[in-house]
Copies of this chain bind each other. A is one copy, B any other.
């Protein structure tokens, strides 16, 4: 099974710039063996079960919990049985149909 996740998490009590806090979450990904991709609006990652996906999200919150009073997160998941490695395949299936794209 392939669980593709796109999510963003940030404090809303720390003023206009929050990259210092977001960096902690990306560091968590960097130091893990997760297959992830940082984008300007969030992080995309792929795991093989819902429990793995939600464990990553719980861990992401833990990076902010110590000193953030209010945190907001948006998450979307595309969960598909009998599939794997969709971080590449979903992009390739578009390229096969319309050629090169910015990805």
**Which residues of chain A have a CB within 8 Å of any CB of chain B?**
4-6, 8, 10, 12-13, 15-16, 18-20, 22-23, 26-27, 29-30, 36-42, 44, 46, 50-51, 54-55, 57-58, 61, 69-82, 86-88, 90-91, 93-94, 97-99, 101-103
Closest to A38 in B: B103
Could you tell me if B78 and A41 are in contact, using CB atoms closer than 8 angstroms?
yes
Given contacts A23-B98, A37-B40, A41-B90, 5 further A-B contacts (CB under 8 A): A8-B76, A19-B93, A30-B99, A40-B44, A41-B78
Give every chain B residue within 8 A of A46 (Cβ-Cβ): 40
What does DSSP make chain A's interface, helix, strand, loop or mixed? mixed
Most buried by B among A12, A40, A58, A98: A40
Could you tell me if A102 and B51 are in contact, using CB atoms closer than 8 angstroms?
no
Q: List 27 A-B contacts (CB under 8 A).
A: A8-B76, A12-B18, A13-B16, A19-B94, A22-B94, A23-B94, A29-B101, A29-B102, A30-B98, A30-B101, A36-B102, A37-B103, A39-B39, A39-B44, A39-B103, A40-B87, A40-B90, A41-B44, A50-B61, A69-B80, A70-B81, A71-B79, A72-B72, A72-B76, A72-B77, A73-B75, A75-B77
